[in-house]
Amino acid sequence: MGVVMVREQQPWLDVPFGEKDDAKAAGALWDWRAKRWYAPRPGMAELARWLPAHRDEVPASEAGSAEDGSGEDGSGEAAPAASSPPDVPPEALLAEALRWLTEPNVLARLTRRRPPWRVLHAVPAGAGHGDLDHVLIGPPGVVTVSVERHPGQAVRVDGDRFTVDGEDVEHVPRARARAERAGRLLAAALGEDAGAPPPVIAALAVDAASVTPAPGGELPAGVLVATPASLSRLVTALPAALDDREIDELYAVARRLGTWTRDL
């Protein structure tokens, strides 16, 4: 029996509603989490007509961090971002943010350098721990992404305190615990010869009317809080800790389902 793999990031497709049957017949698959069609493998000529044009800069939904107050605050972590554009579904914004991490821009294509990020979806974290919505592997290490949906509501963040319309929820400690477990599982799968375990950071991608820090409050330690649109900007701003070889080795281990299902 072959090694079972976690589903990795595949090329997203822009399929108009009227062409969905044609795309499906050509081999396109539907991602129910991202609410978007994707190619099951790169380089499928029959799906080329639906491939989105490569973007050569940060997506417009992520630009203007200085104007919206969602950039670095000097503490080494990015501040929680403002709300996502209301006319774009948050699933589509998150799918675009992940696509931007994994598809090459013009500079990468000219230098023949592949994008450094790898993405896995719906990663099981073991019995009783639920799934990790997304696991990102890149120069900063591993980023475990939990998607939290509070459409139309106001979110405030102050350290580990995360409130939705004034009511406390446990998103921050839960996201941190998932990241810590992911780190233990990856370290065990890599083995003692791999040296120091990879850095693992938790991230919350929050769909809400607004996501803001409490006045005078602090950011949660070790947890990024982002809107779906700003996730890629925040994770790429983290300091690099891994080179391409280390990213490839870690990705190869993370893709194996057995890495995540062991009893720890």
What is the arithmetic mean of pLDDT over 216-228?
Answer: 89
The DSSP annotation for 156-185 comes to EEETTEEEETTEEE-HHHHHHHHHHHHHHH
pLDDT band at 34 (very low <50, low <70, confident <90, very high): low
What span, in angstroms and rounded, lies between the C-alpha atoms of 79 and 73? 6
Relative orientation angle of helices 171-190 and 244-254, to the nearest 10 degrees: 100
Give per-residue pLDDT as tens, 155-209: 999 999 999 999 999 999 999 999 999 999 999 999 877 678 889 999 999 999 9
d(C-alpha 256, C-alpha 228), whole Å: 26
Nearest in space to 80 (alpha carbons), one of 226, 263, 260, 252: 226
Query: Taking a C-beta distance cutoff of 8 angstroms, is the pair 204, 219 a contact?
Result: no
CA 95 to chain centre: 9
> Of the ranges 9-23, 96-110, 222-236, which one carries the lowest mean pLDDT score?
96-110
- Provide mean pLDDT across the span 2-26: 75
pTM: 0.70
- 132-137: average pLDDT: 92
Q: Percent of the chain, pLDDT > 90? A: 35
Rounded Cα distance, 196 and 116, in Å: 20
Taking alpha carbons only, the member of 3, 202, 8 closest to residue 101 is 8
In sequence order, which residues have a C-beta less than 8 Å from that of residue 212 and are 6 or more positions away?
80, 82, 154, 155, 156, 157
Considering only the C-alpha atoms of the chain, give the largest distance between any 2 of them, rounded to a whole number of Å: 56
For residue 82, count other CB atoms closer than 10 A to its CB. 18
Computed over every residue of the chain, the mean pLDDT equals: 78
* pLDDT band per the 50, 70, 90 thresholds, residue 4: low
Helical H segments across the chain, by residue range = 20-25, 65-68, 90-102, 106-110, 171-190, 231-236, 244-254, 257-261
Over range 51-78, report the average pLDDT.
42
Model confidence at 33, pLDDT cuts 50, 70, 90, reads low
